[in-house]
């Protein structure tokens, strides 16, 4: 395996994966349509290596896939639509349909592809796994709107209504509850089922929240890293959705690139769905503290407005035991991700007021709700 295609290779995780592949000695082709708002005016970002061949094209277009797959031995399929907006069909078109088309083209043209790695997401777990002291393991559904309006944030046991304790989610049970996560789970099923049927070794990696440099700050949704960075750098008080006690697990992009490489090279992962996470539970409040410290802003008082994101999970962290058992370890800390992100973002000339605009847009569309 020498020639690797990375769809979405001009994006955040894609470009770090491309760099690692090049350093490891692979020849790399990128297929990317430089879609806005991730990219500005269809511009190829300056972080993209000129040692990789760049092909402009859309993963939803058959001819573009045929062109891109010619002479390729393995594929990282990372191109995706991942905002937080109610344009439901677009998630399935870019994430699910295009994955089916990728396999269709490979089978139709008998392209000799030896491996396909697809980028799935922790979001397939929905509200994730919990334990009730009385009823044992539970997988609660989304918290009801009436509960969130009361600003009563913790999920309850579906059996007895008691408080629940968070458990790291393993790959056994999924419960996707928005268009993005449904499209990602569909993508996994397409890859693993068609992969098996047509004997194309395929792997689905379920990344937790990935962080580091090159993470686009232009989409409406790009999480706490961008929001807090813009607020702290703009001398505004950081705003927390809910109460900031939400648990997340953040994984450093360099660790994700290494997991990708492992999935390419290690046949033990073939036909598996597997978690790639940071291995640490971090609350949004703790994340804010790390970021404030990095910026030397120990005076920060966050604002809780009572707002929440419609359909958001309260807590989520992934069980990364299986991948660790195969020899992979996350080594990047939250602090490292923050430092590298800030170093990169502050050099971008349009890293300005996206946070406020994004928030406004999400309120208008009903994605952010509650509060005053």
H helices then E strands: how many in the chain?
12, 18
End-to-end CA distance of the chain: 56
Burial of 27 (C-beta count, 10 Å sphere; 0-12/13-18/19+): middle
278 is a site residue for ligand NAD (CB under 6 A): no
Task: Looking at residues 34 to 73 of the shown chain, list those that interact with ligand NAD (rule: CB under 6 A).
Answer: 34-35, 38-39, 58-60
Nearer to ligand NAD by C-beta: 135 or 343? Answer: 343
CB of residue 189 vs ligand NAD: minimum separation in angstroms?
15
Among 4, 5, 6, 11, binds ligand NAD (CB under 6 A): 11
CB of residue 337 vs ligand NAD: minimum separation in angstroms?
11
Among 69, 94, 101, 342, binds ligand NAD (CB under 6 A): 94
- Token readout for 118 is 């697809």
Nearest to 144 by CA among 308, 284, 372: 308
Q: CA 100, CA 60: separation in Å to the nearest integer?
A: 10
Pairing of strands 282-283, 209-211: unpaired
Give the interface segment with ligand NAD, choosing from 2-10, 137-145, 150-158, 314-322 (CB under 6 A): 2-10
33 is a site residue for ligand NAD (CB under 6 A): yes
309 is a site residue for ligand NAD (CB under 6 A): no
14 is a site residue for ligand NAD (CB under 6 A): yes
Measured CA distances, 291 to 295, 341, 367 (Å): 6, 11, 25
Pairing of strands 165-167, 250-252: unpaired
Are the CB atoms for 171 and 207 separated by under 8 Å? no
Residues in contact with ligand NAD, shown as a per-residue x/- string from 104 to 133 under the rule CB under 6 A: ---------------x-x------------
CB of residue 55 vs ligand NAD: minimum separation in angstroms?
10
The residues pairing with 275 across neighbouring beta strands, listed in sequence order, are 206
Nearer to ligand NAD by C-beta: 10 or 148? Answer: 10
Q: CA 153, CA 54: separation in Å to the nearest integer?
A: 46
Among 5, 6, 18, 78, binds ligand NAD (CB under 6 A): 78
CB of residue 253 vs ligand NAD: minimum separation in angstroms?
8
The residues pairing with 55 across neighbouring beta strands, listed in sequence order, are 31
Nearer to ligand NAD by C-beta: 138 or 181? Answer: 181
The residues pairing with 202 across neighbouring beta strands, listed in sequence order, are 116
Helix (H, G, I), strand (E, B) or coil at 343: helix
CB of residue 319 vs ligand NAD: minimum separation in angstroms?
16
CB of residue 39 vs ligand NAD: minimum separation in angstroms?
5
Cβ atoms within 10 Å of 245's Cβ, excluding its own: 14
Give the interface segment with ligand NAD, choosing from 74-82, 140-148, 192-200, 347-355 (CB under 6 A): 74-82
CB of residue 147 vs ligand NAD: minimum separation in angstroms?
27
CB of residue 226 vs ligand NAD: minimum separation in angstroms?
11
- Token readout for 84 is 């937080």
The residues pairing with 210 across neighbouring beta strands, listed in sequence order, are 251
151 is a site residue for ligand NAD (CB under 6 A): no
13 is a site residue for ligand NAD (CB under 6 A): yes
Give the interface segment with ligand NAD, choosing from 130-138, 208-216, 264-272, 307-315 (CB under 6 A): 208-216
Among 18, 210, 288, 345, binds ligand NAD (CB under 6 A): 210
Bond into 37 cis (ω within 30): yes
Residue number, nearest CB to ligand NAD: 11
- Token readout for 72 is 């390729």
Measured CA distances, 133 to 87, 164, 319 (Å): 39, 7, 20
Interface ranges with ligand NAD (CB under 6 A): 7-8, 10-14, 32-35, 38-39, 58-60, 78-82, 94, 119, 121, 207, 209-210, 216
């Amino acid at each position: 395996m020498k020639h690797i295609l990375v769809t979405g290779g001009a994006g955040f995780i894609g470009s770090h994966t491309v760099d690692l592949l090049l350093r490891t000695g692979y020849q790399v082709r990128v297929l990317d349509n430089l879609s806005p708002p991730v990219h500005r005016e269809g511009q190829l970002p300056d972080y993209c290596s000129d040692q990789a061949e760049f092909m402009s094209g859309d993963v939803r277009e058959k001819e573009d896939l045929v062109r891109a797959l010619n002479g390729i031995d393995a594929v990282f399929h990372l191109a995706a639509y991942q905002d937080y907006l109610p344009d439901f069909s677009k998630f399935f078109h870019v994430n699910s349909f295009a994955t089916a088309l990728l396999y269709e083209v490979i089978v139709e043209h008998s392209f000799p592809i030896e491996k396909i790695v697809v980028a799935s997401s922790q979001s397939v777990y929905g509200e994730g796994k919990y334990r009730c002291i009385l009823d044992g393991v539970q997988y609660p559904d989304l918290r009801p709107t009436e509960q969130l309006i009361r600003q009563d944030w913790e999920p309850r046991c579906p059996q007895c209504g008691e408080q629940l304790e968070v458990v790291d989610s393993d790959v056994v049970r999924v419960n996707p509850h928005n268009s993005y996560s449904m499209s990602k789970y569909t993508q996994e099923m397409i890859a693993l089922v068609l992969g098996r049927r047509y004997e194309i070794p395929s792997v689905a990696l379920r990344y937790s929240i990935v962080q580091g440099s090159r993470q686009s700050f232009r989409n409406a949704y790009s999480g706490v890293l961008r929001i807090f960075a813009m607020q702290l750098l703009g001398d505004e008080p950081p705003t927390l959705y809910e109460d900031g006690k939400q648990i997340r697990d953040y994984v450093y992009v360099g660790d994700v690139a290494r997991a990708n490489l492992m999935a390419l090279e290690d046949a033990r992962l073939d036909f598996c769905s597997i978690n790639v996470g940071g291995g640490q539970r971090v609350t949004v409040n703790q994340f804010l503290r790390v970021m404030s410290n990095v910026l030397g802003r120990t005076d920060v008082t966050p604002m809780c407005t009572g707002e929440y994101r419609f359909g958001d999970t309260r807590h989520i962290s992934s069980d990364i035991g299986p991948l660790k058992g195969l020899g992979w370890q996350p080594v990047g800390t939250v602090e490292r991700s923050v430092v590298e992100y800030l170093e990169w973002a502050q050099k971008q000339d349009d890293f300005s007021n996206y946070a406020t605009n994004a928030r406004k847009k999400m309120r208008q569309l009903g994605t952010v709700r509650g509060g005053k």
